[in-house]
Chains A and B, each alone.
Chain A
Amino acid sequence: MDLNFSAEEERFRSEVRAFVATQLPASIRAKVLGHKRLGREDFLAWVRILNTRGWVAPGWPRRFGGQEWDPVRELIFEEECALGGAPPVLSFGPRMVAPVIMRFGSPAQQQYFLPRILSGEHWWCQGYSEPGAGSDLASLKTRAERRGDHYVVNGQKTWTTLAQHANWIFCLVRTSSEGRPQSGISFLLIDMRSPGITVRPIVMLDGEHEINEVWFNEVEVPVANRVGEENQGWTYAKFLLGHERVSNATLGLSKRALRELKAIAAGTPAGDGRALIEVPHFRDRIAEAEIDLMALEILALRVIAMDREREAPGPEASLLKLRGSQIQQTLSELAMEALGPYAPLHQREALAADWTGPLAGPPAGIGITGRYFNHRKVSIYAGSNEIQRNIIAQHMLGLRQP
């Protein structure tokens, strides 16, 4: 047993760290670390920079433009990017639709779509959830009817993250009502510029526009944009869920949040001459969060090691999503509590990168409470924590539902 990163991995970490430090534009780093609003161009600028090194999707096979990094390298890479203040590379393209296209897509789809994910030309969003189909995803109702060499799509998707920026959406649609709900679903790739698509913003509880409704009214989609077989979409969707692994632990983001929390607590007066971080009760709560994060990191590395020994990924990713989301939420809650009486402030205008007006509360307080509210989503999206517990109970413990 050896719980150390290898010398090669440490060298790699230094390389990534230096890359992020020198290549990430300072203006973008400042926005990310300062909780400013990120625009479409901020995300894309970083994707283009990464693409110069072939690092947009480094876990991909080389023949599709990847580096074939192992998951440990990917984990180190993600962590260094997060700690260095880089915007996230959104999963929807590189980590979600791409593996499905690689595994089940046609050569033409692979040749067309994959390079455009790497270049940033295509911004993907995910058309899974519907108003009536959340945890029970298979009950989805958006219909695709075959008419010649097109499908005609009607229905509504919801909670679609950053659909306002996307030019492509991958959708689960119903192509048959025969048999089990799971067996009549197909996986379509849809151009967001198609006539009949309407994107409507959903304002979240933090007052920001991050998610959307996407409506489909008689949208024509070429049959050539179906991935794999008709009515086999559920299989592909499940394959995709199995593919989202260690990134679910959000180790990098949580390490960044922990670092920030310590800085806020060190700079916040406790009211009695001490800094908040010197108050034992608060310091203990930070310590507990850090210990939880240490345990999660080793667990994530163990899951990677387990995956190496087997063909198909196991259900342990659910442990990582469950705990990772809890830790994210704890850290954002502690940061909000550190602000003390200033936690209620909502200086929306200060979220703009070019805001130079007066600040009422502590400068480190911008966006902190909004993030606490926003982060309630992390135990709801991508399979709620209740669904993760079901997976753990059924697939790790072998318990059956009544």
Chain B
Amino acid sequence: MNFAFTEEQIQLRDTLRRFLTQTYTLERRRAIARAGTGCDPAIWAQFAELGILGLAIPESLGGIGGSAFDSMVVMEELGRALVLEPYLSTALVGAGILVRAGSAPQRELLRAVAAGEIRLAFAHGERDSRWRLDAVATRAERRSDGWVLEGHKSMVADGAGAHYLVTSARTLSGISLFLLPGTSEGLTRSALATHDGSSVAEVALASVRVPEDALIGAEGSGLPLIEAASDAAIAGLCAEAVGAMDALLALTLEYVRNRRQFGVPVGSFQALQHRMADMLLHVELARSMSYLASARLTVSDANERRRAICAAKFLVGRSARLVGQEAVQLHGGMGVSDELAASHYFKRLTLINASFGDMDHHLARFGSLLAA
């Protein structure tokens, strides 16, 4: 057993934290959210310079070839700074799929991803799928000169801004993945704002024609790739939530220490101290499960991996709800105002639950594995 971070990880964390503390202020974040794209090109360029966009990409393709723990370190810092930029969809999900199964030309694109020139989106969820990974109604038909895709993808993170969409579709032999340029004819992307300030898109595919080599991996091999990508995303979201909870707990602590009522700091009231103690407990439980999720990402036993991922997403969701709601309550009226960072953390923590499966979803999945 060893819970220590490596020197490189500590250095990565400190460098990133320093950069974000200086650059990613609440005001800067507000401006990015207002712009509606969810991605500030200058910030993205800095991410490339810091090397984090290539973290999950092998060195042979211009990346760093980092581990799941490296990604966890980064996601925790992005959560701590409430970063809106679509790091997860490009650097963990999209890049992860191409690293695992992309053809040689597709993998070559990863150089541009690491350099910050290309963003990838994961166009998988559909109107009625509610996080079920195998519920794909979008179809791809083979033609003599390639494929034709028809269907609809929903709530695609960075779906309007990304240069390529890693898109799932049903083919004769099952679920397959395709790499579609965002400029493909027949592709309509409508950007939509979310309550936490980021950008998602509804994506309509109307007879989108792509060449044969748009297929990622073998035909019908999509589902295991989708599952692995979803697991990586969940581990990343858990780490992001832990970073956000850490920051929110610190803000709340500062608030109850400074806010005076009845002649004393409200933090001197035992009832509130106990609630702060519970918040700390739940942050630490969440951190523990975030570690476990990243640790199990790479095990070969799919069941063991899934149990850890489901457990982590459930528990982190529960912690995030408690910490978020309590932080708002302890801030009183200030907690429901847009002015302080607290409400922004609360919103992000709430909506992480709605991404890649909520508490109910993962509790039920974990339960179904008990019997398996």
Contacts and interface: CB of A to CB of B under 8 A. Distances in A.
A269 interface: yes
A372 B350 contact: yes
Contact of B131 (A134, A135, A207, A271): A271
The B interface is mostly helix, strand or loop, or mixed, namely: mixed
B343 interface: yes
A341 B130 contact: yes
A399 interface: no
B190 A344 contact: no
Contacts of B249: none
A139 interface: yes
Contacts of B350: 336, 343, 372-373
A380 B332 contact: yes
Interface in B112-131: 125, 128-131
B347 interface: yes
A132 B261 CA distance: 8
A342 interface: yes
B271 interface: yes
Contact of A344 (B129, B195, B266): B195
Interface stretch (B90-98, B207-215, B334-342): B334-342
Interface stretch (B15-23, B168-176, B358-366): B358-366
B206 to A, nearest CB: 15
A196 to B, nearest CB: 24
Contacts of B353: 337, 343
B347 A205 contact: yes
Contacts of A376: 325, 328-329, 335-336, 346
A285 B358 CA distance: 15
Contact of B193 (A134, A343, A346, A379): A346
Contacts of B266: 135
A134 B354 contact: no
A381 B329 CA distance: 10
Q: Which of B132, B261, B271, B333 has the most chain A CB within a 10 Å cutoff? A: B333
Contacts of A204: 336-338
Interface in A303-338: 336-337
Contacts of B337: 202-205
A25 B60 CA distance: 68
Interface residues of A, number: 51
B97 to A, nearest CB: 19
A7 to B, nearest CB: 44
Given A344-B200, A372-B350, A269 B125 contact: no
A288 B124 CA distance: 34
Contacts of B125: 341
B351 interface: yes
Counting chain A CB atoms within 10 Å of each CB, the highest count among B325, B360, B363 belongs to: B360
A147 to B, nearest CB: 31
A380 B190 contact: no
B333 A369 contact: no
A331 B336 CA distance: 18
A89 interface: no
Interface string A347-391: 110000000001010000000011011101101110011100100
Nearest to A134: B332
B272 interface: yes
B194 A202 contact: no
B285 interface: no
Nearest to A210: B336
A389 B272 CA distance: 12
Contact of B130 (A139, A340, A348): A340
B85 interface: no
Interface of B: 125, 128-132, 135, 154-155, 190, 192-196, 198, 200, 202, 260-262, 266, 271-272, 325, 328-329, 332-333, 335-339, 343-344, 346-347, 350-351, 353-355, 358, 360, 363-364
22 contacts: A135-B262, A202-B339, A204-B336, A206-B195, A271-B129, A271-B132, A271-B135, A272-B132, A279-B360, A281-B364, A282-B360, A336-B350, A337-B353, A337-B360, A340-B130, A345-B195, A346-B192, A370-B195, A373-B195, A373-B346, A373-B350, A380-B329
Given A202-B338, A346-B195, A360-B192, 16 more contacts: A203-B339, A205-B336, A205-B343, A282-B360, A336-B350, A337-B354, A337-B360, A342-B154, A344-B354, A345-B192, A347-B193, A360-B202, A373-B195, A373-B343, A380-B335, A384-B329
Interface of A: 129, 132-136, 139, 158-159, 202-207, 268-272, 279, 281-282, 336-337, 339-348, 358, 360, 369-370, 372-374, 376-377, 379-381, 384-386, 389
